[in-house]
Amino acid sequence: MIVVTAAGGSTGTAVVRELRSRGLPVRAVVAGRGPRPELTALGAEVVTAELTSPMQWPDVLAGARAMYLIWPNFDPDEADGARALFAEARRAGLPRLVYHSVLRPQARAMPHHAAKDRAEQALDASGLAWRVLQPCAYADNLDAQLADVARTGVLRSPWGLTRAQSLVDLRDVAAAAAVLLTEDGLDGGTFEAVGPQPLTAPRLAELIGDHLGREVTAQDVVPSGAVPTSYAGRCRRTMFDWYRAHGFTGSPRVLTALLGRRPLSFAEHLAGLPGPGEGA
Ligand SMILES: NC(=O)c1ccc[n+]([C@@H]2O[C@H](COP(=O)([O-])OP(=O)(O)OC[C@H]3O[C@@H](n4cnc5c(N)ncnc54)[C@H](OP(=O)(O)O)[C@@H]3O)[C@@H](O)[C@H]2O)c1
């Protein structure tokens, strides 16, 4: 049994799908009650548990050979909550924990990166057998914008027009997660999951234009006003400020080694999207 947290989110569902496609039993942990047709259709056992509640973990982890810990996006409890959960997992005798981090967690100007950096430190001190996956930003992050882009011919870029991102396809992230959850000889390893090419917004616009069969231009959307006070707002703003100043790129070599093939390009990501009327 492999336990996956935040399983109803985009990352969690992709990891559950990948594990189930390999025929592995999965316990999908979700926060909110109510039916989860997508997860049950994949054949996962769905359980409801609060990540920050200590008492439920022995039950949630019963019979598990590994856990994939995804913390909900932009959640202020990540550093402390993850540390407490590592202690619970250790007490429960969990044989392997894989933590879903982020590329460059040490870029602490972004609070959610700082939280993941602290969580990685706590994981190292936890006594658990662990592995860490550090994904770059997902190519999938742009999917929600594509219908608008098709209509307007404009790709909105809050990270400016000159710095690049090495976007990674979420399917490749999930496949790397499956490797870390199941293969031996990887304990104590920190693995970057980075797409094959650094791409600026104008280059992304060009590739989207090729995919849509229309001209697309990138538009610089400069964030206005003060940095928001909410945690999620601060994370989002500091993230785009960081990308605008420094880009968010890395090497695809580690992901290539984990997958045994080169990661999917952005054009391949676009080609894999469902067409109009095909559903997700
Ligand atoms: N997007 C990227 O490019 C990227 C890149 C690298 C790393 N990451 C990291 O990947 C992680 C997941 O991101 P995502 O975009 O997949 O998240 P997401 O789609 O926003 O999903 C998060 C899930 O967590 C669950 N959740 C929310 N609050 C919760 C709480 N208090 N307790 C327990 N569960 C709660 C939600 O509800 P249910 O469980 O009820 O469905 C939701 O399904 C984040 O830590 C993010 O930093 C993202």
Confidence of residue 63 (pLDDT cuts 50, 70, 90): very high
Query: Do residues 180 and 98 make contact, with C-beta atoms less than 8 angstroms apart?
Result: yes
The whole-number pLDDT of residue 119 equals 98
- Could you give the percent of the chain with pLDDT greater than 70? 98
Three-point CA angle 213, 218, 221, nearest 5°: 145
Nearest atom in ligand 1 to the alpha carbon of residue 138 is 3
Q: Is 32 in the pocket of ligand 1 (CB under 6 A)?
A: yes
Ligand 1 geometric centre to CA of 174 (Å): 14
Task: Write the residue with the smallest CA distance to atom 16 of ligand 1.
Answer: 11
Task: Write the residue with the smallest CA distance to atom 19 of ligand 1.
Answer: 9
Ligand 1 geometric centre to CA of 116 (Å): 13
Task: Write the residue with the smallest CA distance to atom 21 of ligand 1.
Answer: 9
Which amino acid, 30? V
DSSP secondary structure code for residue 25 in this structure: -
Confidence of residue 278 (pLDDT cuts 50, 70, 90): low
Q: Is 250 in the pocket of ligand 1 (CB under 6 A)?
A: no
The answer on pLDDT for 280 being more than 60 is no
For 2-271, CATH gives 3.40.50.720
The answer on pLDDT for 91 being more than 90 is yes
Ligand 1 geometric centre to CA of 213 (Å): 33
Count CB-CB contacts under 10 A for residue 271.
Answer: 10
Q: How far apart are CA 83 and CA 86, in angstroms?
A: 5
Q: What is the CA radius of gyration of the chain?
A: 19
Ligand 1 geometric centre to CA of 77 (Å): 12
Ligand 1 geometric centre to CA of 8 (Å): 8
Nearest atom in ligand 1 to the alpha carbon of residue 29 is 39
How far apart, in Å, are the Cα atoms of 199 and each of 13, 61, 107, 185, 259? 26, 40, 20, 33, 22
Nearest atom in ligand 1 to the alpha carbon of residue 36 is 41
Q: Is 141 in the pocket of ligand 1 (CB under 6 A)?
A: yes
- What is the DSSP code string of 117-183? HHHHHHHHTS-S-EEEEEE--BGGGGGGGHHHHHHHSEEEETT-SS--B--B-HHHHHHHHHHHHH-
The whole-number pLDDT of residue 32 equals 83
**pLDDT greater at residue 140 or residue 54:** 140
The whole-number pLDDT of residue 46 equals 96
Instruction: Share the mean pLDDT of the chain.
Output: 96
Q: Is the dihedral of CA 241, 199, 273, 147 positive or negative?
A: positive
The whole-number pLDDT of residue 279 equals 55
HSE-up (13 A, CA, CB side) for residue 252: 19
- Could you give the percent of the chain with pLDDT greater than 90? 91
For a pocket test of ligand 1, which of 11, 39, 194 has the largest count of ligand atoms closer than 8 A to its C-beta?
Answer: 11
Instruction: Read off the tokens for 159.
Output: 């990270």
Q: How far apart are CA 29 and CA 9, in angstroms?
A: 10
Q: Is 165 in the pocket of ligand 1 (CB under 6 A)?
A: no
Give the mean pLDDT of 182-194. 98
Q: Is 119 in the pocket of ligand 1 (CB under 6 A)?
A: no
Q: How far apart are CA 259 and CA 279, in angstroms?
A: 27
Nearby residues of 2 by Cβ (< 8 Å), 6 or more positions away: 19, 24, 25, 26, 27, 64, 65, 66, 67, 68, 181, 182
Query: Do residues 6 and 72 make contact, with C-beta atoms less than 8 angstroms apart?
Result: yes
For a pocket test of ligand 1, which of 36, 67, 73, 231 has the largest count of ligand atoms closer than 8 A to its C-beta?
Answer: 73
Q: What is the pLDDT of residues 143-172, one digit of tens each?
A: 999 999 999 999 999 999 999 999 999 999
Q: How far apart are CA 53 and CA 28, in angstroms?
A: 16
